[in-house]
A and B are shown apart, each in its own frame.
Chain A
Amino acid sequence: MNVFDLSVGSICKIVKVSVEGSAKSRLNYLGIKEGNKAEVLGFSLLNSSVLLGVGYTRIAIRKTLAKGIEVKLICSPQQKRNGVKRLIAKLKRERNR
């Protein structure tokens, strides 16, 4: 699975970076390395590139390179929304008590 298989708002873990040459070291310095968590912040017009949030850095990467970043989904936007809903419900319950 690569970042283009995910939707905006998904949080994933970087499993493998199969990019060659100086681009790989650039990605590495920007925080795109195995084990790091990344959030998909958006896709560009015509889906040519993806904006990833790694830590506090936002990195725009062209599709041809981004396809070489293998990821594992940790939390989808739906799961995030459900989590927030559950948290709100829990807080409400606690307040009612």
Chain B
Amino acid sequence: VKVVIAGNPNAGKTTLFNSLTHSTYKTGNWHGVTTFSVQKKVKDITYVDVAGMYSFNAYSMEEATAAEDVLTADVIINVIDSLTLENSLTLTKNLIAGGRKVVVYLTKLNCLKARGGRVDVNLLQKYLGVPVMVCRPTDLKRAVENGSINFDVKRENVNFSDVYFGGSHSLKRVERLFYNKIFAPLFFVLSMVFAFFITFHPKMIGAIAKSWLQDLITITFSNVISKHITNDILRSFICDGIIAGAGGVLAFIPQIAILYLFLTLLDESGIMSALSFVTDGIFEKVNLSGRAAFSLISGFGCTAAAISTTRGYSSLSAQRRTIAILPYIPCGAKLPVFLTLLSPIFKNPFPAVCILYFCGVAMALLFSMLMSGGEEQLITEIAPIGVPSLTAVKNKLYFYVKGFIIKVTTTVTIFCAVSWVLSSFSWNFSYVSVEDSMLCSITKVIAPLFYPMGITDWRLCYAAICGFAAKENVAATINLFFPDGLNLSVAQSLSLCAFMLTCPACIAAFASSVKEIGRKSTLKYNVIQLAFSFIFAYIVYFIFLLL
């Protein structure tokens, strides 16, 4: 049995899908979080979560895909946001007219009650002629699995005003503030600076927790392990290769969690949605629309995920432009890289990291302005502003942090293991010093490319190259090769930071981009970006050398 969860954007479809299937797909309080259909089989039932849609007349690519899935469903769970029930019924009527079994599931009833509204579920059933459910997701799941939903509901002539009252129309004072074109951007900038401050300032919780965790992993844990291993090569592999490399990156969890927490709060409270409208004027000047704000802010988390948010764009050229500029937005994985490079030269890396983040955003907007093409029109629903749900914030934060830990303990650990093997053995597999290793001879071939940015140590070149697989690898490789810390000049550190800021994103983002705009365009953008990142880093190096 194929059960499709359909409804208007931002109705709560993915939240319901996650509850029904025990999944952790990304949710958000804005239009267009889900951009492609996902399905999961539970017992004999295949649940399908589709992108939000208003009708079968597709306006964007995501709507077209959703419509295709809806047309092949056995049962449709039509998720309706009770705050905007009146508008949502257009799609519901279309779904019912399609002749499939439809069950309506109402969400956000608490918000409706808080607004002074009400909905009579029995009358709504009679008005639509389909079952309407207001229950916990587990009860809905049980009803679907047992087949206990009564689809034989007779349609009756009911006055809609008896069925639904939406409550107060008026905006809350806080909403008026966030729709103000001066206050909203100012609030965003100040809140991001505050987030960076408590994340990066050495006397703030982020840096303190990171330092504590780093000591725990790389000193205490490493000492315990080294005492129990007698074989020198194995000890070096585990302590110098895995723990110093991947373990060092794991220590960034507190800082990454704080930054993600801020992004999640902005998202769940609806402020990000308001921001996408208010900042539309800036995006218009750079040939984009306010919708790009969602993608760019998502880019602070993960570039690959941010790329997939562009599927909802109605203009293909605007989608291409957004994908091309997204790698300039520093993702969460670049954070350990910047801190690893900047911490040895700045006692307090907070201002430098702030500048790097703002440079990334400015560069993204500048490149978008330089790229020509069709304009993306802004027609989007804006989510109401409210207190974020604690469960949603907790789940999302857990999802982000879990993703980071999984990546470090799998991809980065494997990369560290391979790097250690390549840097510890010669071509005839004898245990040698780093300078005589296979890795040294391989990397020295491309190392000259990094000379003009002041990076003459091939180990740093290798670390920078590792970033193309996953950005976390850069910090892990630096930790692996420089256990006592880096000893770089300001010009060298900043030029390497400039390279890391502007270089193409990781392989996951590359794959996501290929999926959206094809291999040819992705390759073209990546080659241009790579060339630019080298030139930009050379310029930064020479400027700081002259200062």
Contact = CB atoms under 8 A, between A and B. Distances in A.
B290 interface: yes
Nearest to B112: A56
A26 interface: yes
A29 B63 CA distance: 13
A56 B289 contact: no
B314 A64 contact: no
Contact of A25 (B57, B179, B278, B384): B57
Contact of A62 (B55, B59, B285, B379): B379
Contacts of B83: 56
A14 B533 CA distance: 50
Contacts of B59: 22-23, 25-26
Interface residues of B, number: 41
Interface residues of A, number: 30
Given A53-B171, A60-B380, A45 B279 contact: yes
Contacts of B282: 45-46
A60 B161 CA distance: 27
Interface string B158-194: 0000000011010100001001110001000000000
B473 interface: no
A51 interface: yes
B289 A41 contact: no
Contacts of B86: 31, 55-56
A30 interface: yes
Given A23-B59, A46-B285, A56-B84, A62 B280 contact: yes
Nearest to A63: B284
A75 interface: no
B377 A65 contact: yes
Given A42-B180, A53-B171, A48 B84 contact: no
A43 B176 CA distance: 11
A28 B83 CA distance: 18
Given A25-B55, A30-B379, A62 B289 contact: yes
A96 interface: no
A41 B146 CA distance: 47
A47 B378 CA distance: 13
Contacts of A60: 276-277, 280, 290, 378-382
A15 interface: no
A45 B185 contact: yes
Given A45-B278, A46-B281, A64 B377 contact: yes
Contact of A51 (B84, B169, B179, B281): B179
A41 B179 contact: yes
A43 B181 CA distance: 7
A57 interface: yes
A48 B280 contact: yes
B17 interface: no
Contacts of B379: 23, 26-27, 30, 59-62, 65
B47 interface: no
Nearest to B384: A58
Interface in B266-299: 276-285, 289-290
A85 B380 CA distance: 35
Nearest to A27: B379
B377 A41 contact: no
Contact of B377 (A23, A45, A51): A23
B287 to A, nearest CB: 12
A68 to B, nearest CB: 11
Contacts of B281: 44-49
Nearest to B57: A25
Contacts of A29: 54-55, 87, 90-91
24 contacts: A27-B379, A29-B54, A29-B91, A31-B87, A42-B278, A44-B280, A47-B281, A49-B284, A51-B179, A51-B277, A55-B87, A56-B83, A56-B169, A57-B84, A57-B381, A58-B381, A58-B382, A58-B384, A59-B379, A60-B277, A60-B380, A62-B289, A65-B377, A65-B378
Interface of A: 22-23, 25-27, 29-31, 39, 41-49, 51, 53, 55-62, 64-65
CB-CB nearest 6 A-B residue pairs: A46-B281, A45-B281, A42-B179, A29-B54, A48-B281, A60-B277
Given A22-B58, A49-B284, A58-B384, 9 more contacts: A23-B379, A27-B379, A29-B55, A41-B171, A45-B281, A46-B281, A48-B378, A59-B381, A61-B379
